[in-house]
Structure 1
Amino acid sequence: MSEKEAILGIDISKDKFSAALLKGEKKSQVKEFSNNLEGFEQLKQWLEQNQLEKVHACLEATSTYGHSVATYLHSLGHVVSIVNPARIKGFAQSRLSRTKNAQADATTIARFCAALKPQAWTPPSPEMAQLQSYSRRLRALEQMATQEKNRLKTTVDESLIEDIEAHLVFLETQIDNVKKRQKELLNEYSSLKSQADLLTSIVGIGEPTAMTILAEIGDINQFSSARQLAAFAGLTPQEHQSGTSVKGKTRLCKIGNPHLRKALYFPALSSIRHCSPMKDLRERFLEAGKNILNTVTGCEF
């Protein structure tokens, strides 16, 4: 890394984050900030004090805690990368890192960024971010409704039954409201509507699945190939073989977006039953010795 290059590693948490600054081969500087606008502005001042107009910032894709600081840094013209935590963990293990705290993690993230130069991240458009919020909220509400329905089957206390039924009515109302907002959003933005229409033209994909796919993928142009998109969803094969003694089964690599992976599973089953090309693809997988589950996941992309 040259003197002119500057790397910012960020270890994020709910209320605060640690930032490690690497400039050339110098020892990293580490500072802690609040995870709010005041903290972001202090981070900006810190970078200015170090006479840095542009840095390559890197942070892990952990929940939504890092989205605000990532968007803020991107708006200032900095390069931002959001990477899978498994990559950072593997990098730390390769360096035999033993210390585990926020400051050390931020430094590890910075060194990972300096060594591997991860792909730059682009914030989703406001409408895409809103669609993702609706999609994930809908899934959470549906999961809660399923849990309550299961409780209803095993509950014998009449007062509790009434309580569960009332909660179910509330959840169903909320589900309908979110679905309505999703449709309004699609109708408001023609680009989203046209993409959703293309997706629903595929056998096995209905409107709810199409909206989840759109929300989780974002800008599809960020993927240069179908295989890269499959890896993003965690749908690529993972072999476990070594020499002549280790011959494990090839399994699905689940290092990827779980929301997208789950949304594609049942459409894949449907396409295998009703779409001739997908039936043929599955047969080729079976002939190649793939197990039944892998043939389904292989048909998801």
Structure 2
Amino acid sequence: MKSYLFIGIDISKATLDVSIFTSSAITDIHYQQFSNSTKGFLQLLKWLKQKCEGISIEDWRACMENTGMYSLELNCFLQEKGIWQSLENALQIKRSMGVVRGKTDKADCQVIARYAYRFFDKLKQYVLPSVTLLRLKALFSQRERLVSMHSQLLVGNQSMKGYPKELVKDIQKQNEGLLKSLALQIKVADKSIMECLQADDELQRKSKLIQSVPGIGQQTAAYLLIVSRGMESFATAREFACYSGCAPFEHTSGSSIRGKTKVHFLANRKMKMLLHMAAINAITFNDELKAYYQRKIAEGKKPMSVLNAVRFKLICRIFSVVKRNEEFKKEYQRKAA
């Protein structure tokens, strides 16, 4: 029987806690801690080669939680060395543990290694996104920070209107200067995002197709391309609707529990918010969706339920235009049967 080396990595900003064992000796667990840096990665690789018991590097299975930027450098290193890796949802790993008392980094990395062994057949290999998508993600995150700072300063400036003018005049003047600077930086970020999309012909094509759907703007299109890896990670619109919190689920059991069918809180909330704003934009300015919304409200449907249906319609249209490689058309000519 083929042997595998299972590697569980618990990642923090400064350190990597690593536990390993082979499929032929699952109780013989080795543990070591390394720094989360290039030097630490090289030490980790050297240690793995010493403890792998002759198992080839192609049969190593590294598993870790998705920690965003903390794991990015390690992901790049492992991919460069040809080491198979999987990024798993932290909540999914936690719920696989059963009843646990206490918590340490050493115990956590052992749990991750055991998770990789137990769900070996369900693990999906993680491959880094393209350089353009990584750049786009960094630019989008920077824009989000700038918008957040602008909003905080704007609210702070408005809250000072109740103070006597002579007490806060200098503060308001300083804030106004910062607001102008941040507004300019947000425009620069928008331009950088546009240039990043234009640098990749495929992403530019898909972005243009997505933005042809009524209600979808540049920011929604950019973030959608980021989370879907250029519209390659989700096979169907329904899968993406589930990911973005637009798919309703039943809540029933036996004869006593008859909960409402509703969307689940486990979703990408940023994507859900952007789709929500797109849906509001669509029912405001698009005649077809505006008429649909008003008709459903007249039928007695709840506003948020109808808005969720509009969100799903937008998702279906996005996937359709990308699949067909054809911009959205308001009117389609029906062919005779």
Question: Could you tell me the TM-score, scaled by structure 2's length?
Answer: 0.80
Q: Is the 8 A contact 1:204 1:271 kept in 2?
A: yes
Q: How many residues align?
A: 297
The letter of the residue matching 1:263 is L
Find the structure with the greater CA-based Rg. Answer: 2
SS of aligned partner of 2:8: strand
> What residue number does 2:16 align with?
17
Distance 2:258 2:297 in 1: 19
* CA–CA separation in structure 2 for the residues paired with 1:271 and 1:120: 37
- Correspondence 1:56-205 to 2 at 5 A: 56-92=61-97, 95-116=98-119, 117-155=122-160, 156=163, 157-205=168-216
**Distance of 1:290 and 1:32 partners within structure 2:** 56
Q: Quick one: distance in 2 between partners of 1:236 and 1:110?
A: 32
Q: Could you give the per-residue CA deviations for residues 200-254 of structure 1, whole angstroms, max 9, x where no partner exists?
A: 1111011222112112221422322222223333433344332233333333223
Rounded Cα–Cα distance in structure 1 between residues aligned with 2:86 and 2:290: 36
8 Å contact kept, 1:282–1:296:
no
Partner residue in 1 for 2:288: 276
Q: CA 1:140/1:283 → structure 2, altered by over 3 Å: closer, same or farther?
A: farther
Stretch moving more, 237-246 or 206-215: 237-246
Residue 270 of structure 2: aligned partner: 259
2:304 to 287, 293, 297: 293
| Distance (whole Å) between structure 1 residues aligned to residue 78 and residue 233 of structure 2 | 20
**Offset from partner CA, 1:258-278 (integer Å, 9 cap, x none):** 332222211122334526379
SS at match of 1:151: helix
- Please say if residues 16 and 34 of structure 1, whose CA atoms lie closer than 8 Å, have aligned partners that are also in contact: yes
- Which residue does the alignment assign to 2:327? none
Alignment RMSD, CA only?
Answer: 2.5
Which residues of structure 2 form unaligned runs of 5+? 316-337
Distance 2:198 2:146 in 1: 23
Cα separation, 2, equivalents of 1:187 and 1:242: 51
Tell me which residue corresponds to 2:46.
45
Counterparts of 1:35 and 1:262 in 2: how far apart (Å)?
A: 33
Q: Distance in 2 between matches of 1:109 and 1:285?
A: 48
Q: CA deviation at 1:107?
A: 1.2
Q: Secondary structure at the match of 2:266?
A: coil
Once the two structures are superposed, residues 49-94 of structure 1 have per-residue CA deviations (whole angstroms, 9 ceiling, x without a partner) of 12341322111122321121122112222222112211112112xx
Deviations 1:2-23 (A, max 9, x none): 6612221111111011112131
Contact 2:246 2:263 (8 Å CA) reproduced: yes
Residues 111 and 294 of structure 1, relative CA distance in 2, 3 Å threshold:
farther
Name the SS for the 1:108 alignment partner.
helix
| Inter-partner Cα distance in structure 2 for 1:38 and 1:171 | 37
- Structure 1 ranges of 4+ moved more than 6 A: 281-287
Structure 2 Cα separation of the partners of residues 162 and 31 of structure 1: 54
Which whole-Å CA distance do the structure 1 matches of 2:253 and 2:294 have between them?
27
* 1:100 alignment partner AA: K
C-alpha distance in structure 1 between counterparts of 2:3 and 2:287, whole Å: 55
Give the letter for the 1:18 counterpart. D
The answer to whether the 8 A contact 1:282-1:295 is kept is: no
CA distance 1:204–1:44, change in 2 (3 Å):
same
Distance 1:195 1:285, change over 3 A: farther
Residue in 1 that maps onto 2:318: none
1:120-166 per-position Cα deviation (integer Å, ceiling 9, x unaligned): 21111111100011112112211211121111111131122112112
Q: How does 1:220-239 map to 2 (within 5 A)?
A: 220-239=231-250
Does the 8 Å CA contact 1:203/1:275 hold for their aligned counterparts?
no
Secondary structure at the aligned position of 2:3 is classed as: coil
Please give the alpha-carbon distance, in whole angstroms, between the structure 2 residues aligned to 1:293 and 1:22.
50
Aligned to 2:321: none
Structure 1 alignment gaps of length 5 or more: none
Matched-pair contact (CA < 8 Å) for 2:86–2:123: yes
Match of 2:34 in 1: 33
Identity %: 27
Distance (whole Å) between structure 2 residues aligned to residue 72 and residue 282 of structure 1: 54
Residues 248 and 189 from structure 1, CA distance in 2 versus in 1: closer, same or farther, beyond 3 angstroms? same
Matching residue's letter, 2:288: S
User: How far, CA to CA, are the matches of 1:45 and 1:286 in structure 2?
Assistant: 68
